[in-house]
Amino acid sequence: MFFVEKLKKTLKHPVPKQLYYGPRKHSIVLSQMGTQFSDLNDHQHSKGCADSPTCSCTAGNETIKHYFLDCPEHINCREALLLELNKILPPHTRVSWEILIFGLEDCDLQVNIDLLNIVHQYMQNTNRF
Ligand SMILES: [Zn+2]
């Protein structure tokens, strides 16, 4: 069995089509987040590759949610992220880290590409990866 076929069978979520768009560097990081193999301290610590899961801000573990939605070091970047998301997401959509890395199942590909571009911009602005 080819690696890609095996990977598709083992992933909880199928690889979202929008991950084929935009800068490959950020798409790779989002894929790593989705499989819990990213450079975030929480992921690295769970694999025994970091001394602590704590974020450099010391306000909590550096989880996906912390990086995108809670970390005080990225507050200005997050304001821009949420502002741009409000322009494209359906009304009353609750922004969660799952939406940011997996996209929205009920929306078409273009909305998910727009969403991904906004997430990529956030990642670029935070300069974390
Ligand atoms: Zn932090």
pLDDT on residue 90:
92
pLDDT on residue 105:
87
Q: Is residue 38 a contact partner of residue 26, using CB atoms and an 8 Å limit?
A: no
Distance, CA 107 to ligand 1 centroid (Å)? 30
Distance (Å, whole) CA 100 – CA 45 = 22
Q: 3-state SS string over 36-66?
A: CCCCCHHHHHHCCCCCCCECCCCCCECCHHH
Express each pLDDT in 60-116 by its tens digit.
999 999 999 999 999 999 999 999 999 999 999 999 999 999 999 888 889 999 999
Angle (CA) 47-117-16 rounded to 5° is 60
pLDDT surpassing 80 at residue 58: yes
pTM of this prediction? 0.85
- Report the DSSP beta bridge partners of residue 84: none
Distance, CA 67 to ligand 1 centroid (Å)? 6
pLDDT on residue 16:
66
